[in-house]
Amino acid sequence: MTHLNTLGLSVNARYYVKVNSTDELKHALMFARDRSLPTFIMGEGSNVVFSSDYSGLIIGISLRGIAVTRHGEDAIVEAAAGENWHRLVVYCLDRDLYGLENLSLIPGSVGAAPVQNIGAYGVELKEVLLDVKVLDTDTLMERNLTMAECRFGYRTSIFKESLRNRCVILSVRLKLSGRSKLNQSYGQLRRELQEMGVHNVDGRSIGAAVCRIRQRRLPDPLEVGNVGSFFKNPIVSSEQYGQLKSDYPGLVGVPDQMGEGTKLRAAWLIDQCDWKNKGVGDAAVSDRHSLVLINKGKAKPSDFLQLAGRIQDSVRRKFNVALELEPTVC
């Protein structure tokens, strides 16, 4: 399974199957049900940490297909769960369809995007998502969930809560615009565009700027094992933020989009605890970005889990702030 997870962990599964159609998926689920096997649904393995060998059936989703339905200048794009997310972004930009450019170069598959409500540089998936087609793992019936029914939050959704392990995402439908609706709310993005010498900003230039930032700051999982951000940015009450800001003037906080408080930069908190370049075994904090834990070669699952736990403990002791893991631990 080493090549099937971007952390590069050497783990095994009792059974593994890649499915290319809904029928194959149904057969795989029935195989597991008949044998009372646990199942784990996996896309590109870019947001999962295996804690040990898996005793059941891992189902790799390889459903393919992208369809565009035009409505004047706008369009509805339906993409199958097994499509690569960044390739979908490029596909849409090549057809002058905008809304995904701030989400460029996020690793993983289309099917994983709603689970996390992926977001970057001021944009979240929920802003363009119409609905999600899923397969109920009990009834093996298909149904559509609207954006509201997905109960999106910061890096979470109904697929992490009440529908966890109860459905498989088959495809998503997105409403995109033929007009560039630019989101340059992140100062880092604006500075990157200036450094690129871009005067007439459009969706393509924003996508290019996001790619430049991510390539510079985040290690390529094809070269260095990682799952991107290992921790979510924590959300604290306005009162706690005020006290922390008083104690630590360098702390940066932004209002949470869900109106639940103030979101802090987890990377800053980790940096203040002096974790950069440190690690456990062959698991280490990246020197590029403190939210990224990397595999220096032969890291074991326990190395990553111990390192993450120690980071969480140090941040809790220093700031009284809880860091939550972003990837799924299986």
Question: Residues with catalytic annotation?
Answer: 155, 229, 326
Query: How many angstroms separate the CA atoms of 135 and 145, rounded?
Result: 11
Q: How many beta carbons lie within 10 A of that of residue 209, not counting itself?
A: 27
Burial of 250 (0-12, 13-18, 19+ CB in 10 A): exposed
Residues in a beta bridge with 76? 69, 175
Tell me the torsion sign for CA atoms 314, 315, 320, 323: negative
**What SS3 state is found at 108?**
coil
**What SS3 state is found at 233?**
coil
Look at residues 4, 22, 329 and name the one whose alpha carbon lies nearest to residue 170: 22
Which positions ≥6 away from 128 have C-beta within 8 Å? 99, 100, 174, 175, 176
* Inter-residue long-range contacts of 31-34, CB under 8 Å, 24+ positions, other chains counted: 31/57, 32/56, 32/57
